[in-house]
């Protein structure tokens, strides 16, 4: 993956995760940093292998969509 695209994906993930609940962020940490749950969510994203970025973005997009639907937005 191109470095510019990779950085864009990581930035977008951090922004999306900032809109998630604490419980959702903890779940994300459990999926992508199960060996070190004490890391900041931004560090988890920074440490993710590039091949997992696309799937993680899809998961976050669905989560935010579901959150908005649950709130009636």
pLDDT at 73: 60
Domain around 50: 17-66
**In-domain check, residue 30:** yes
**In-domain check, residue 7:** no
**In-domain check, residue 48:** yes
Length of the chain: 73
Contacts of 13 (CB under 8 A, 6+ apart): 45, 53, 56, 57, 60
**In-domain check, residue 43:** yes
pLDDT at 49: 96
CA angle centred on 67, ends 62 and 72, rounded to 5° = 125
pLDDT at 71: 87
**In-domain check, residue 5:** no
Sequence-ordered strand ranges (E) for 1-73: none
**In-domain check, residue 6:** no
Number of domains in the chain: 1
pLDDT at 21: 96
Q: pLDDT tens digits for 5-43?
A: 999 999 999 999 999 999 999 999 999 999 999 999 999
């Amino acid at each position: 993956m191109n470095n510019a695209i990779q950085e864009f994906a990581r930035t977008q993930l951090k922004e999306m995760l900032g809109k998630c609940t604490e419980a959702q962020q903890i779940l994300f940490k459990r999926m992508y940093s199960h060996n070190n749950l004490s890391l900041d969510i931004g560090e988890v994203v920074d440490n993710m292998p590039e091949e997992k970025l696309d799937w993680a973005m899809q998961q976050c997009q669905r989560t935010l969509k579901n959150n908005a639907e649950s709130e009636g937005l």
